[in-house]
Chains A and B, each alone.
Chain A
Amino acid sequence: MKETAISELDSRAEQALHQGDLPIVDRSIRIPVLIFFGSGVFWLVVASVLYLLSSSQIHTPTAWWTFPGVASLSFGRVYPAFLNCYVYGWATCAAIGTGIWLLARLTGVPLRSPLFLILAAVLWNIGMMTGVLSILAGATTGRELLEFPPETAFILFLGLITVSLWAITTIWNRKPGPTYISQWYLLGAFLWFAWMYPTANIALGIAPAPGAAQPAINWWYVGSLVDLWLTPIALAVAYYLIPKIVGRPIHSYSLALMGFWGLALFGGWTGMTHIIGGPLPAWMVTASIVAKVLMLIPVLAAAVNFHLTMKGNFGGLRDNLALRFVVTGAVIYTVYSFVGSIISVRSIAQFTQFTFVTVIHSQLGLFGFYSMILFGALYYIVPRLLNRQWLFEKLIEMHFWLLVVGLGLLLVDFTIGGLIQGFALEDPQIPMIAVNDLLEPFLAIQNFGAFLLVVANLAFGIAFALILLISVPARKRQVAIQRSNEASESTEAEVSVA
C-alpha cells in the first residue's frame, strides 16, 4: 500500500513541480545554495592542501617542505585544521546546500527571502575562518572535532540554528501529500546537528564536564556527528538521486523507513567505540559496541534498497557521472560500516584501536562514503541551478578515478600497515621506536595516496570554478550528465503507472 503511495507521490509531486512551481522553487534557492556550495568547495581545497601537508609531516618531519620549526604549520595544528576544514567546511557546507535544495524541491515550498540563508552562510564562513586560524595559532580547545574556541563555535551555532529552523519550518509548511523518505532523513539530520553541536560545546567549553565525563561527551558528539549528521544527509541524497536518475521509485518504502528508525535509534550511541578500554563504566562502552554492530541493520536496509532500485540499471553508471558518484558512495557505505562494526568488537579492537586501521576507517567514511555521494549531488544540482553544463567531462572522469585509486591505495596501505602496527603494539617485546620504524614504508606510500586524493579534489575545484565562470547553456542530450537526466524525466509517465 505504502509502496504504491510512494510511487504515485514521486510522479504527482514531480508533475506538479514541473508544471509550474519548479522554476519558482529553484530560482528562489539558487543564491544561498550556490554560496554554500562555493564555500564547501573552497574549504575542500584548503582542507586538501592541509591534508597533504599533514600526511608528509608524519612521514618526513624534518624535510624542508613540511615546515619544520614553524609552530603554526606543525603536525599537531595542521592535522586538526585539515579535519575541521574538511568536516565543517566542505562536508557541512555541501550538506547544507544540498539540504536546502532537496527540501525546497521535495516540499514544493519556495524560499520567501534568501536573506536568512545567505546570512547563515556568511556566519558559517566567518566562524570557519576564525576557527581554522585559531587552531593554527594554537588557540584550540584540544578536543577532537570540537577544536574551535567557544566564541567561534557560537558564530557557527548561529549559522546552524538559522538553517535548521528554516529546514524544520519548510517541512512543516510542505505541500500536502505523503512525506518523502529523504525528508525524514533531512529533518532528523538538521534537528540532531542543531542539538549535538551546542550540547558538546557547552558541556566541554562553557561549563566543562568533570574529568572522565569529557571524553565520553566528546566521543558521543563525534559518533553522533558522523552517524546522525553526515550519514543521514548522504542517505537523503542517495534516496533522492538514485530513483530519480534511474527513473524508477525506490524499491521499498517500508525498508527505507526501517533504516531511518534504526539509524535514529543506534546513531547516538556509537561514539564510545573510539575509547574501548577507557576509564568509563563498562556499560557505556558495551552499549556503544552493541549499537555499532546493530547499525548494520539500517546499513543493510539501505544497501538492499539501493541495490534493488538500481537492478537492471547498472549500465547507467557508465553514462551518468552523478549516479556513478552516488552509487559508489553507497557501496562504500556498506564496506565502511562493516569494517566499523568489526573493529568495534573488543577482541579485535585490542589490535586495531590506536592504529592506522581506525584512521583509514574514518577516511573511508569521510572521503569515500560521504564525499562521493555529495560530489554526486553537486554534479547533479549545480547545472540545474545555473542552467549550464559542466565543461570538460574528462575532468570529472579524472576526479572520479583519482578518488577511487587514491582511496583504494590508502585502504590497502593503511589496513596492512595498521595491522602490523597493531600487532607490534600488542607485543611488549617490540620497543615503541621499533613500532614507529616498522611503519616507515606505509607512511611513504600514504603520501602518494594522499597526493592522488588532493589532485582529485583540485580537479573538482577547477570544474566547479569553470561552471561558475563560463556560461555554456545546457543543451539537450549533449553532456552525459545532462543526457541521462532527460532520460529519467521522460520515464516519469511509466513510473506513475507502475
Chain B
Amino acid sequence: MKKITGLLFGVFFLFGASWLGLVAYPYLTFASLRQSKDDATGALAPMGNPGTATQGARVYAANGCFYCHSQYIREKDEGNDIDRKWGTRRTVARDYMFDQQVFLGTSRLGADLTNVGVRQTDPQWFYRILYNPHTMSHEVSMPAYRWLFETREIQGQPSADAVKLEGAIAPPSGYEVVPTAEGKALVEYLLSQKKNYALPEAPEATE
C-alpha cells in the first residue's frame, strides 16, 4: 500500500496548490477590497448598483447574454478594446466588488457591455434592440427577446415605456408593446453598466 499512499499524497497536494492559488487566494483577498476615495472631491468609487439592476442580472443570466457578450476591458497592450471606445481604461478587480454576479464572458459575437450604460442612456434604445435586433443588421446573430415584452390594448393614455416600433413589427392600432417586469429589470441592469469612474490602480489609457 506504500505506493498508493504516495500517489494519493501527490495527487492531493499538486491539485491543492492550484486550489490555494486560484480559489482560496482570490476568495479571501478580493473580499477585503474597499472603495477608492477621490482626494479632491471625497467621492467614493465604485458605487453599488440599484436593486432592480440586481434583478436584471438574473434575467441576464437566465437568457444567457454572457455567452456572446463580454464585460471586461483589456489593457491597451493586450487588445484594442479602448480604441474601440468600449472603455477609457482597463477593468480591475475593484470594479466588480459590488456585483452579486460577475459575467466576464469569453465571446464577443456581440459587443462588450462593460460600459454600455455610458454609451446608451435611453431605455428605448435597449427595448428596440431586444425586441428586434435586426434593426441593427439583417445578418445579426442576436435572437429577438420577445418574451420580455407583451402586446396589450392601450388603456387610456399610451404607456410611457411603450416600445416605439415601425413597419411590419409595429403592433396593430390601439395596441402597444411594453416591456414586462423582467424586460425592465434587464434594461435597468444594462443601463447601470458604467465603469467610467477613476481608480488609482487603473489609470486612463494614454495615446
Contacts and interface: CB of A to CB of B under 8 A. Distances in A.
Interface string B171-189: 0000000000000000000
B41 interface: no
Contact of A217 (B11, B23, B145): B23
Interface stretch (A324-332, A435-443, A465-473): A435-443
A341 interface: no
A279 B72 CA distance: 7
B109 A436 contact: yes
A220 B101 CA distance: 17
A94 B30 CA distance: 38
Interface in A39-64: 57-59, 61-62
B96 A279 contact: yes
A231 interface: no
Given A280-B26, A436-B137, 20 more contacts: A61-B142, A68-B143, A74-B143, A140-B61, A141-B61, A187-B4, A196-B15, A211-B96, A217-B26, A278-B72, A278-B74, A279-B72, A279-B90, A279-B92, A279-B93, A284-B26, A346-B78, A354-B106, A359-B107, A433-B137
A171 B106 contact: no
A142 B101 contact: yes
Interface string B143-159: 11111000000000000
Interface in B8-59: 8, 10-12, 14-15, 17-19, 21-23, 25-27, 30-31, 33, 57-58
Contacts of B134: 62
A247 interface: no
A276 B90 CA distance: 12
Interface string A352-371: 01110011000000000000
24 contacts: A58-B109, A61-B144, A69-B146, A69-B147, A71-B147, A77-B62, A77-B63, A179-B7, A187-B4, A187-B7, A196-B15, A208-B100, A211-B96, A216-B22, A217-B23, A217-B26, A276-B78, A277-B72, A279-B91, A280-B26, A350-B79, A353-B106, A425-B80, A428-B85
Contact of A61 (B70, B110, B136, B141): B141
Contacts of B101: 142, 208, 214
Interface string A265-282: 101110110111111110
B27 A210 contact: yes
The range of chain A's interface size is 35 or more
A428 B83 contact: yes
A474 B122 CA distance: 70
B144 A277 contact: no
Interface string A140-182: 1110100000000000000000000000000110000001000
